[in-house]
Amino acid sequence: MSTPLATVGILSIGSMGIGIAKLLVANNYRVLTNASGRSSATENRAKEARVELVGTDSELVAQSDYILSIVPPRDAVATAARIQDVWKEQKRLSKSPLYYLDLNAISPTTATQIAESFKEKAPEIRLVDGGIIGGPPAPTSGGSWKRPGIPLSGPFPLHEAPVSGEHFASTLYSRYLGPRIGSASGLKCCFASLAKGLTALGIQAYSTAASLDVLPALQDYLDEYNPQARSKIEGGITSCPVKAYRWVEEMNQIGDCFADDGGWNEQARIFRQISGLYAELAKVVEERGGTDGMEKVDGAIGALQEVEELEQDDR
């Protein structure tokens, strides 16, 4: 086996993290993760993807050329702080700089906050602001890979990194937007607001139509006048329950982005409302012990209605 092009640490190995890990391994990168405290299923999933398990963040930092942070938005700041704390405690032997790619769904304000913390606590680490647009990487029948888009920004372009930077940036299907921290995070917010905002509206419209016993009629009219909308709405409704807990803070971050960077101020509070909707959906999933029965539109809407009826009975 040829020498790996670089070593990449990934935090953490969820569905997106494992997909990116498989893509990198297939392209001759060594991939590490700290799976301490994670379930045996997560560890097995990592091993099956040929991801090496290390026991501590210290080992991850010591061995990595790049660290990718791919965590729920609520954990983005804390994950960056973990790496900064480790950096202060150890002496890195590698002569090459460590790159930290924050690929989380956060606002430009939060991205700037993270950048400032790196300047203060670990100025030698090169922070790259980023986001992920699309689903996890997956091999195609033709031997290539379907990959999400990864916009990047900040003063340290990934394609200029000294350890296989150009190849790494290309493998990730990244796009450099410029030197400003927050540009990539903001782009991700704008994109996600359209897709996940539509899903939130769809959930409310479909559940209300079901309460009125007119959901089949609504679907008939969508088929006749806007079939593409029906496909997108129903795809969102059935795919979002398992991810709803991640979207709660993401909607708050989008609201912050639109208020702080878009100038929408109070009007951006709509995303606080959408955050509440996804929090309710996450609660449904937790109370049901999973998403069984919610794989189809009727099941997902029915589960929401069950919880709403129970809450009304409790009032």
- Distances 173 to 47, 133, 159, 199 between C-alpha atoms, Å: 24, 11, 11, 26
Residues listed for the chain: 315
CATH topology classification for 7-180: Rossmann fold (3.40.50)
Taking the domains of the chain in order of start, what are their residue ranges?
7-180, 185-314
| Neighbour-count burial for 227-242, b at 16+ CB within 10 Å, e otherwise | eeebeebbebbbebbe
pTM of the model: 0.92
Q: What is the CA radius of gyration of the chain?
A: 21
Largest CA distance in the chain: 66
* Cis amide bond preceding 275, omega within 30: no
CA 65, distance to chain mean position in Å, is: 22
pLDDT of residue 315: 45
Report pLDDT for 94. 63
Burial of 209 (C-beta count, 10 Å sphere; 0-12/13-18/19+): middle
Please write the tens of the pLDDT for every residue from 175-202. Answer: 999 999 999 999 999 999 999 999 999 9
* DSSP code of residue 214: -
- The predicted-structure confidence for 41-63, as pLDDT tens digits, reads as follows 888 889 999 999 999 999 999 99
Distances (CA, A) of 33 to 167, 183, 201, 275, 303: 21, 27, 37, 30, 36
| Token pair listed for 49 | 């993807």
The low-confidence residues of the chain, meaning pLDDT below 70, are 1, 91-94, 306-315
